[in-house]
Amino acid sequence: MTVEIREHPFDPWQTVSEYRSTRLASGKSGASAVFVGTMRDFNEGDEVQAMVLEHYPGMTEQQLEDMRSEAVSKHGLEDALVVHRVGTIYPADDIVLVAAFSAHRKEALAACREMMETLKSTAPFWKKETLAEGERWVERNTPG
């Protein structure tokens, strides 16, 4: 489960903890860099009550796996983990977890950031926000 699409709320911290204890070789990773993206209750000046996250089954998983394996290879990581929500989500729900594990911090931090920016610009997900009055598609992601 190094790349996973989840349809239900998840705890990213528990996910990282379990991954470290069950999947990583003990004593190899001196650095763990973790990014967690969480839903806000505001966007572009409006209150957001909920959001539906849509994806392209098959293509999304492949894009994320390609991104993950490229990061592992480029930075010489011990491992990397990507988890992303789909479905209906609410403010304070976690949306995305990207974690990079390496011997030293430089590679883990760089890989975590790169994976997150690649995910934002290439992974086929789309957000539709529910506002107090009506719905709207998020048209584009802000630059990182």
Our CB check for other proteins shows the closer of 99 and 116 to be: 116
Residue entry with tokens 């994320």: 64
Please enumerate in sequence order all residues whose Cβ is within 8 A of that of 102, keeping only pairs 6 or more positions apart, or say none. Answer: 29, 30, 31, 33, 75, 76, 77, 78, 108, 111
Site for other proteins in 18-47 (CB under 8 A): 37
H or E segment to which residue 53 belongs: strand 46-55
Does 123 engage in binding with other proteins (CB under 8 A)? yes
Our CB check for other proteins shows the closer of 90 and 137 to be: 137
Our CB check for other proteins shows the closer of 133 and 139 to be: 139
CA distance 80 to 43: 30
Site for other proteins in 64-103 (CB under 8 A): 84, 95-96
Residues that bind other proteins (CB under 8 A): 37, 53-56, 58-59, 62, 84, 95-96, 116, 119-128, 137-141
